[in-house]
Chains A and B, each alone.
Chain A
Amino acid sequence: MANVPQDLKYAKSHEWVRVLGDLATVGITDHAQHELTDVVFVELPEQGREIKQGEACAVVESVKTASDIYSPVSGEITEINAEVGSNPALVNSEPYAGGWLFKVKLLNAAELEPLLSPEQYKAQISGT
């Protein structure tokens, strides 16, 4: 069973968000990395780029396929995880820790409301 930490919010498209103040850290879920397996390349957005909620702004490539990553929130990209650029397997081994993808300076905290709770996300992935 996939790990779904209690302290995070989730997007239907399998990204997670960790909010600290006005900074949101984004990654892909344990369930998503398990479905992809063998992540071999991660393409991250430019630092400073303004993104909208739901916008495709990164690509995670496994041996099998390329998957777009959609930002769960709007705002400016303040930091990207250079570590996953050189070691993409971190997305598989530590999806909620060393495998984070980028940080967004929140533009509108209300956008967090419609995101899924851990319970709702669990229900979604057990239905697939």
Chain B
Amino acid sequence: MFRQPVGDNEATANLRYLRNSVEQLFDFMKRTPLFSAHQELGAKLIEFGGWEMPVYYSSIVDEHQAVRLRAGLFDISHMGEVVLHGQGALEFLNAVLTNDLRKLAVGQGQYTLMCNPVGGVVDDLYAYRIGIEDYLLVINASRIEVDFAWLLARKRLFGGAVTFEMENASDRYAALALQGPQSAAIIDRCYPQASVDGTQVSRPSELRKNQLGCFGAGRKQVLIGRTGYTGEDGFELILESEDAESAWKRLVEVGAQDGLKPAGLGARDTLRTEVCYPLYGHELNEETTPIEAGLGFFVALDKGDFVGRDVLIRQKAEGTRRKLVAFKMTERSAPPRPHYPMWSPGPDGAVIGEVTSGTQSPSLSLGIGLGYVNAAQSAVDTPVQIEIRGKRANGVIVTKPIYRKAN
């Protein structure tokens, strides 16, 4: 079911574009298949990337702690899926993505980025090899249209063997993220079975990090990968939209005895900020490169040519003008927020950068954040001041991740 692209082409892409334009015209927000489930749970809803999504059910801190200590369940159905099938898919993807897909066995995934010719980030994503010649890309909600148009354009330019199909399957699939130390126990109780495809395991908890398996039978199949965006152990599930609500309700019910809570985008953001995972539109955009963002580990400069490689090679060798750093406050202050100026301290202090993500860390009970600063002032332990409503509060640049699990 996850293998075969369903006849997507430019005509259906255009149709989708038209429909989205109409939705925007009338200011409709898109809703996931779990929208009514969120309403039943009393979720507080916000707009995120054109989607009406839960920001929290009980409170951000409550849900954050549930994920750090027990388990949380997130609706991530707004994220997009692109499916590729065919002989040329690997060669094509390796020419448009920064990481090396040749490293992936069937049933494995990797974090990767898609760059423009000047090294700017079109999107950051997860690429899974789901069959011998089958790949699944999980992309950001706000970037679905841009990414797919970009991929179609690159496909047209692609010199290699263009013997593959590519589908924007975002509307067909829903996705859930089960995160937290109790996740393995919960996933096994909900899916007590061996995988039928992907990585061969006798139950989902046997999957290792970045491995993915297909579970269930017939129309009720679900892809389960051991991945996440919280810094905790956890699983992400991709399934047909019509199966999403029953899967969600079952996980909530079965997980309740382990302290599982439904969790919203608010907790998702505080969790990922604590472990310094970038968020597209904050740390990443088309004017920012993976090298500046400190994501060089996911850029395989030695794999052969790919879009943006020349710039990234040069930046890696010569360094960049600015760098993404993590910081925490060293005095009591209001939480840092995106776009707050970052200063060097002292009477001759100057603006050295800008906050891209900031919040009050529920795990550490202090202000934390990420931001771009001049490379010369980016070393760990460098004091930094954050300008909050005209006043500067003291902080310090720290090692990533800001929060590390004690054990």
Contacts and interface: CB of A to CB of B under 8 A. Distances in A.
A28 B301 CA distance: 55
Contact of B266 (A59, A63, A66): A63
B55 interface: yes
Nearest to B360: A40
A38 B332 CA distance: 16
B61 interface: yes
Contacts of B333: 41
A35 interface: yes
Contact of A63 (B44, B332, B359): B359
A76 interface: no
A63 B389 contact: no
A63 B337 contact: no
A59 B389 contact: yes
A51 to B, nearest CB: 17
Contact of B335 (A35, A37, A61): A61
A40 B44 contact: no
Nearest to B335: A61
A64 B334 contact: no
Contacts, number: 41
Contact of A37 (B56, B332, B389): B56
Interface in B313-361: 332-335, 337, 359-360
B183 interface: no
Given A40-B360, A41-B360, A61 B60 contact: no
A81 to B, nearest CB: 16
Interface string B159-190: 00000000000000000000000000000000
Contacts of A43: 334, 389
Contact of A64 (B266, B332, B389): B266
Tier of interface size on chain A:
10 to 19
Interface in B230-269: 266
Interface residues of B, number: 17
B270 interface: yes
Nearest to A92: B59
A12 B96 CA distance: 52
B60 A38 contact: yes
A15 to B, nearest CB: 19
Contact of B59 (A38, A41, A59, A61): A38
B362 interface: yes
B61 A38 contact: yes
B334 A63 contact: no
Contacts of B362: 38, 63
14 contacts: A38-B60, A38-B61, A41-B335, A41-B360, A43-B389, A61-B360, A62-B60, A63-B266, A63-B335, A64-B55, A64-B60, A64-B266, A66-B335, A66-B337
Given A41-B360, A61-B335, A66-B334, 5 more contacts: A37-B44, A38-B59, A41-B334, A43-B389, A63-B61
Interface of A: 35, 37-38, 40-41, 43, 59, 61-64, 66
Interface of B: 44, 55-56, 59-61, 266, 270, 332-335, 337, 359-360, 362, 389
